[in-house]
Amino acid sequence: MPRLRYSRFLDPSNAVFLRWDFDFEAEIITFELQVRTAGWVGLGVTDRYSRAGSDLVVGGVSPDGNVYFSDQHLVDEDTLEEDGSQDAELQGLTEDAVYTTMRFSRPFRSCDPHDQDITSDTVRVLAAYGLDDTPKMDRERTFVKSIFLLQIVHPDDLDAPEDTIIHDLEITDFLIPEDDTTYACTFLPLPIVSKKHHIYKFEPKLVQHNETIVHHILVYACGNASALPTGISDCYGADPAFSLCTQVIVGWAVGGTSYQFPDDVGISIGTPLDPQWIRLEIHYSNFHNLPGLYDSSGIRVYYTAHLRKFDMGVLQLGVFTFPIHFIPPGAESFMSYGLCKTEKFEEMNGAPVPDIQVFGYLLHTHLAGRAIQAVQYRNGTQLRVICKDDAYDFNLQETRDLPYRVVIKPGDELLVECRYQTLDRDSLTFGGPSTINEMCLIFFFYYPRNNVSSCQGYPDIIYVAHELGEEVSDSMEGMMAMSNVEWTPESIKKVEKACKEAQQTVIIKTIDELVENTTGWIQDINPTPRGPCLESSGGKVEPQDKTPAGFRAAPIVLSRASSATLRCLPLAALLFGQGALSWLLATLQSGI
């Protein structure tokens, strides 16, 4: 059988091991679950709130050597029931002295409402097993792990230059304070090279036993005219010099791993235009206030003299974190919006800005975040959803590749929308650096590099306060007035609507700390419909269930289309709805 490229342990003791791979054109995913047991095994998909409704493919080898296998779902937290529609196809099921191994395939989206979709969102993979051949849920042998299953590029598909040099950007023997939240910053030189090189890969360098305390690590490029302080200090404390340098060049957050750039892009070092110094920022979340912990974490970069075609940059988008961002307590759902207008990019760059080609992204909110997306507009019309995750998990923040490169032209507008839930909170949540504060950020990895480092928006809080019947005269009074509001479902929806309708102030920054403001308005986001489902050959949808919205359409035939283009089409439908197919065909022809 073909080798499955992706793999992950699903449990703390490494007894449950998952391999998987997928076919975008056929919209089929293949799983292989290997468990240290002689009993039954199960694999499926669940959500963050309840096991009830989860799907679970169950199988095993009985003592007499017969194989059993079925597509099931959880009626409640503990009760399994077989689906009327069998949508999983068995490819192999074996048992030896140590492991039971089950391999099967299933469609990304079946027409069975008991099956959870496999999407480009974070997927909460459910694994379970028993010690005998009677499938019965046991919470001690049930595991859930958030995984980005549809990873576009596998690291093995990328080049690893033979002349690779490794360089560590790390903090040294830093005593982590006993505070809940610490932002530690220090300034470090980039590798000194005699000619241009490219950084092509980075990964976290974490000290053992501190992994659960290090929340994120960011590396910011410094303008070469910057006067930088020495030592280690609070990034956003008494000395403002430690918050200098705002252009992110690489970033890692909890749950992420290494990331390698596409073969044609890299971070340029070694030329007069390149940064020579960086600011290393490490966010520690020491919620248990543990004393005496020393840390030497950081980022390891890999660089080469074999140059790539393009120099890359990172653009930070979203809601300007402080002081205007807030989220009411007790909200089942609350949306925040941050606008970016690119019309001033050329003026701030000091030179013409070529089309921005986005190839990857990193999503970032804190604990209340539930979903996040970036939407592109051109000439007042929504062009596309660039990236999204409707099942965002704070504990899985990783750099992800886009299925195709997205072009941002001068004058385009970019909108970031974040959805939060605060049912467990009884006071306002403000934007800020602490994990219990909130953020709404997306980092775009793009080429060719320009000098703009961030473009973020926030609403007119005076207008928002007035809509809630509060008399205020400035932004500070507007934020203070939010504490006077009695938060009910009605007032939450009212303030959400006001924040969306308010004029946005857009703040644009460059690597050299130049700042410009402009204004704009939030446009509506057109939802993208789900694509058609795939009817099972192993049974029909139960009569009592609703009729599926649609079945898989016939394949689209393109004359003279490249195989790469054909591979993009089913994925576009999966990521952004069936309407993305017609959009992609049109834009490929028009050159957008």
Could you tell me if residue 138 is left (phi over 0), alpha (psi between -120 and 50 degrees) or otherwise beta?
Answer: beta
Look at the alpha carbons of 313, 317, 320, 325 in this order and tell me if their dihedral is positive or negative.
negative
By DSSP bridging, strand 142-147 and strand 165-170 are: unpaired
The contacts of residue 251 (CB under 8 Å, 6+ apart) are: 216, 217, 218, 219, 314, 362, 399, 443
Among 167, 197, 215, 364, which one carries the catalytic annotation? 364
Is the omega angle on the peptide bond into residue 448 within 30 degrees of 0, that is, cis?
Answer: yes
Query: Could you tell me which of 444, 366, 415, 389 has the C-alpha nearest to residue 524?
Result: 415
How far apart are the C-alpha atoms of 362 and 94, rounded to whole Å? 39
Token pair recorded at residue 125: 């993979």
Could you tell me if residue 570 is left (phi over 0), alpha (psi between -120 and 50 degrees) or otherwise beta?
Answer: alpha
The set of long-range contacts for 238-244, using a CB threshold of 8 Å and a minimum separation of 24, is 242/185, 242/279, 243/185, 244/279, 244/513
Query: Is 338 in contact with 457 (CB distance < 8 Å)?
Result: yes
By DSSP bridging, strand 67-74 and strand 55-61 are: antiparallel
Query: Is 400 in contact with 388 (CB distance < 8 Å)?
Result: no
By DSSP bridging, strand 265-269 and strand 165-170 are: unpaired
By DSSP bridging, strand 100-107 and strand 16-23 are: unpaired
CA dihedral 526, 531, 532, 535 (to 10 degrees): -140
Residue 96: CB atoms within 10 A of its CB come to: 9
Q: Is 467 helix (H, G, I), strand (E, B) or coil?
A: helix
Strand partners, 181: 285
Say whether 183 is catalytic. yes
Instruction: Show the CA angle centred on residue 176, arms to residues 170 and 182, nearest 5°.
Output: 90
Among 129, 183, 259, 284, which one carries the catalytic annotation? 183
How far apart are the C-alpha atoms of 143 and 124, rounded to whole Å? 10
Q: 3-state secondary structure string, 111-178?
A: CCCCCCCCCCCCEEEEEEECCCCCCCCCHHHEEEEEECCCCCCCHHHCCCCCCCEEEEEECCCEECCC
By DSSP bridging, strand 232-234 and strand 174-175 are: unpaired
Residue 83: CB atoms within 10 A of its CB come to: 24
Q: What are the backbone dihedrals phi and psi of residue 240, each rounded to the nearest 5 degrees, phi first?
A: -65, -15
Say whether 197 is catalytic. no
The contacts of residue 587 (CB under 8 Å, 6+ apart) are: none
Instruction: Please list the active-site residues.
Output: 183, 364
